[in-house]
Structure 1
């Protein structure tokens, strides 16, 4: 009986140690980026209703004044609503869009609740059956935590590899 209690306490201590080692904020940011990638990816035709739903979901992970530069020097209009409309217009013209995150480093700022992440992504876009873009691009993403959720404040394209 004593051995079982000691073993259970030891197991609890080891689990507690590993639980405290997890950076939960960085993990939440990685999960949020995964959700964005899932929303942006497209494999074939979709209904207008689904496209509008994805656009709304995408704007929900952006701050109201978000700015996104998708390629160096090329950005969408500023603001979550404008970005949602731009996404809807662009996404409806794309046949296929694939994004693979190759590397994602997260730094939680001392000015919490802000963070910065560096992302390397492999992107491929087909438009009218022809490959328009295939590149590996590095991004710097600035995050802000609002009402418990990490939202994208700005995305800056750092260039291709």
Structure 2
């Protein structure tokens, strides 16, 4: 499956669903793209549609969640005092949790607060949370990512 680089939308990778990893990112030219992914510190995060099941799947480090399954939960929080961000996705079978430096931690010009610090475009974790919160738009996302042609 070809997935767009979340951090650089002009690149894609051939993502191996069974292994949960992508190849080296290369420039997009006339490719059918089916979602997004990123690789941070050796951990791959992929977000892509499953048209047969009519849902969006999230795969992190080889573990897959149905984002719109009733048992799937997503949390994303900022620790403003310490400049940290925490992300968690879980269901009845699997849990993935991570804490990392917040995107605004090294920005002296930025006053972090709950209104300004949440931006879906900063990383895939925020994107996952946004998609999870907007379940009513699920079909739009599935249709949008189902073999998106990029020239």
Both structures adopt the same fold (TM-score exceeding 0.5): no
Decide which structure has the larger Cα Rg and report it: 1
Q: TM-score, normalised by structure 1?
A: 0.26
- Give the number of the structure whose residues are more often helix, by fraction: 1
